[in-house]
Structure 1
Amino acid sequence: MPTYAFLLFCSVFALVHACAPSEVTKERTEESVTGETVTESNRETVDAAGETVADVQQEQVPEKTLEDTNTTEERVEYQPDATACNIPSQVSDPEAIRTEYGWLVGSKVGNVRVFKGIRFAKAPKGALRWKPPVAPSCWSDVRQATSYGAQCPQVVAANGQVIGDEDCLSLNIWAPASATSASPLPVMFFIHGGGNIGGSSTQALPNGKLLYNGQYLAERTGVVVVTVNYRLGPLGFFASSALTKESPDGSAGNYGILDQIAALKWVKENIKAFGGDADKVMIFGESAGAVNTCVHVASPLS
């Protein structure tokens, strides 16, 4: 079967078998209606409100961080440590959102509330490299969710430069301002493309526009939109007999897929606070993200 036909089948199959809004727009726009821009020179993101947020995507990964793997680390299950959490029941900011890990404050663009760079797992480096993702630590203060997280390490094909940061497991949420936990809206969970070796949830087009901007879907269709970063290339899909031997369940590789599953679990636990319905989450993606969608449809872990 030709590759394009397989990808089309995966996307259609995933849409049919997932809980989704009654109408899903098929129109793909290459330009964000909010005008959110990432310039070629400084990779800054500019939202519709005119705020400029420094984009950290171009940070080069220090070579030494790729060499300190601790192969004796035991596997840690993805679940928060309730005993370590000391989350206040209330905070002074009325716009703050309480998650299972702490309070967050985002921004508002038009009629949509935007939360950027939300950590859904600890940085997968050092002893956590080539391991299943581990739930993030809790915090007691109110954190700003107004800047996108770093993209995961990858090689730029044009010049061979390594960009990104291993501390990259974050997600972004766009929710209609009218959404409430009492009347939650369907959720659309998007997985970016890039052959599982490149790309990010904040990838820019040649014209500088943000490619995967959830503002349009949230504003026009009344859904909560989530985009996610996941480990790529050898850090996300490397498999070896040595890793298999140290794995408690005898498996290795597909860490990028496990990252996506961890993000889905985070959404299941927390999306209600953002006005999303945890029982109506539709997974979809572009290119490699569409293939990964098929994996989640078939996997009981998802």
Structure 2
Amino acid sequence: MKKLAGISLVFYFFLFVLPRFCYEKTGDFWYQTILSDLPFNPRWEAERISSAEMEMIPSLLNQRFFFLGSGMQCFAFLGEDEKTVLKFFKHSPSLLKKGRFLWHRPFLDSIFDSYKLAFQELKEETGILFLHLNKTRSLLPTVTLIDKMGNPHQIALDETEFVLQKAGELICKRLRRQMEDQDISGAKRSLDTLFFALSRGYRKGIKNNDRAFRRNVGFSGDHALLLDAGSLLCDERVKIPMEAQKEVLQKGRNLQNWLLKHYPELHVYYMNLVQQMKEE
């Protein structure tokens, strides 16, 4: 009986305790999981940015990037300038070939479709500066990533699929800071900016299926940003004001509840903005 109990404890440790410990230490990041053997696909060729914009990219990449977080689709690294974020797509460890991982295609297609849509139609609203979904040659530098444990990793950007995006201050952090500074008018302007960004997407017939609204909306300067662009799709119905309003009510419920709990005055203002969507 004691032997069985001991085996159960060992099993529990390796199944639950050790993975959790490793996740907390590493953020689930292993540099091999951002590498792939994906071939060139014309479907992923996004529109070229202007020469002036392209000239800025090398300087933005000429810095170290520090582990910021891990989501369902990407690992995020914050630049030393604290103004830019590099996001690398997670590649499924289900099939290993030559030390690199291959994606499940259906899931990959939807993610890449979403980021390409964001880059081409909602560049300002998402803050995406550069999108690299096909491998290139001698176009991009090698960057240094610093993982959660402080270990450096040299990554050749030409050989990876990534997004370069403006860094954003999360919406709750921004509103809390403004309210603590008694800047109520500033907090209301932040909400105005948020609804302006959301409305631009809806008018273009772009729907966001991301339900982690509170965690994935932020601000760069005075501009609201949709920080997670991995769940976008085209849906003509959201061009209808009432449908757009339904989307905000459903996807923004966690933000609504947070405002109601912490800042009732802002909650009233937020709901008034929602109501105005029907009147546009």
TM bracket (short chain): under 0.3
Give the greater-gyration-radius structure (CA). Answer: 2
In the superposition, the TM-score normalised over structure 1's length comes to 0.21
RCO higher in 1 or 2 (8 Å CA, sep ≥ 6)?
1
Higher normalized helix content (fraction of residues): 2
In the superposition, the TM-score normalised over structure 2's length comes to 0.22
